[in-house]
Amino acid sequence: MSQPNNVRLGVGLMILTTFVFALQDGISRHLAGTYNVYMVVMIRYWFFAAFVMVIAARRAGGLRQAAITTQPMLQVVRALLLVAEICVAVIGFTILGLIESHAVFACYPLLVAALSGPILGEQVGWRRWAAIVVGFIGVLIILQPGMGVFDPAAVIPLISAIMFAVYGLLTRFAARKDSTATSFFWTGTVGALGMTSVGLWFWEPMQTHDWLWMAALCVTGVTGHWLLIKCYEVAEAGAVQPFAYFQLVFVAVIGLTLFQEVIRPNVALGAGIIIAAGLFTLWRERRQA
């Protein structure tokens, strides 16, 4: 059976997904500003793992079928890489703020395009390489490495973007043999186990009202992933992926209104260049496909 392609519904779901993920990042920034990052991410992953297991149990074959893979080491590596990337990203939120972190992180589609050659053996033409170079000029405009004393913390979201790009490519590689349900199952369960082995060492008491924020973080995380799954079920990825950049818009609103962040001119300019280069790369991939 061919996949339905309701682009209008898919775009709506993608925009809603980015809004929910922006809320999740705002809550993460709030909690990680008070409590240990590793504990916050660990509790979030407990809820995520439960969600993944419920989804797997409702499919044909149940949990046993979802866990079957011929490449367990690859699945473990990509799951642990993602949970480590989330920790790095949340640390970036607390140090640099939501707006600057997401402005730099927006370059990850360009990193995927750049690394798809050496990791997956895909061919990257000169047009996409030109877009990649332009995108990284945008990153440099944001980071301003030559303007006075360079803050090393500014590279945290770039490290996060690199990790997420590698995770995305490993997920593509895993998809050659494993189903999406299998990769999703391993992502949640292995990530929860890996994060628990670290997070328990950093446990600290949490105020009652912050447990409500923690519950909201877990709910937004699960809701965001559910919406993303539904989005890709109703529409082709190439048609809706450009609208993922709406997350930067929602994050900017949250950063400005709730955390009193500011949008520096170089950040706005650099983010615009990165988004333009990313959209061009997505357009080229869709055209070639």
Share of the chain above pLDDT 70, in %: 92
**Mean per-residue pLDDT for 17-37?**
94
Of the pLDDT bands very low, low, confident and very high (cuts 50, 70, 90), residue 288 is: low
Q: pTM score > 0.85 for this model?
A: yes
The full 3-state SS of the chain, as one line of letters, equals CCCCCCHHHHHHHHHHHHHHHHHHHHHHHHHHCCCCHHHHHHHHHHHHHHHHHHHHHCCCCHHHHHHCCCCHHHHHHHHHHHHHHHHHHHHHHHHHCHHHHHHHHCCHHHHHHHHHHHHHCCCCCHHHHHHHHHHHHHHHHHHCCCCCCCCHHHHHHHHHHHHHHHHHHHHHHHCCCCCHHHHHHHHHHHHHHHHHHHHHHHCCCCCHHHHHHHHHHHHHHHHHHHHHHHHHHHCCHHHHHHHHHHHHHHHHHHHHHHCCCCCCHHHHHHHHHHHHHHHHHHHHHHHHC
The mean pLDDT of 9-16, rounded to a whole number, is: 88
Q: Are 245 and 69 in contact (CB under 8 A)?
A: no
Q: Mean pLDDT score of the chain, rounded to an integer?
A: 87
179 confidence band (pLDDT: 50, 70, 90): confident
Confidence of residue 186 (pLDDT cuts 50, 70, 90): very high
* pLDDT tier for residue 84 given thresholds of 50, 70 and 90: very high
Specify the pLDDT at position 145.
Answer: 66
Instruction: Name, in order, each residue with C-beta under 8 angstroms of 13's C-beta and a sequence gap of 6 or more.
Output: 227, 228, 230, 231, 234, 235, 240
pLDDT tens digits along 55-65: 889 888 888 99
Tokens in use for 283? Answer: 């357009």
Mean pLDDT throughout 114-125? 74
What pLDDT was estimated at residue 140? Answer: 82
- Residues 29-42, mean pLDDT to the nearest whole number: 95
The residue among 154 and 150 whose pLDDT is bigger is: 154
| Stretch among 54-68, 135-149, 153-167, 218-232 having the lowest mean pLDDT | 135-149
Residue 116 has pLDDT above 50, yes or no: yes
Distances (CA, A) of 103 to 64, 93, 121, 135, 181: 40, 11, 29, 11, 31
Binned at pLDDT 50, 70 and 90, residue 1 comes out as very low
Q: Is the pLDDT of residue 29 over 70?
A: yes
Residues 6+ apart with CB under 8 A from 288: none
Banded model confidence at residue 137, pLDDT cuts 50, 70, 90: confident
Of the pLDDT bands very low, low, confident and very high (cuts 50, 70, 90), residue 92 is: very high
Cβ-contact 185, 53 below 8 angstroms: yes
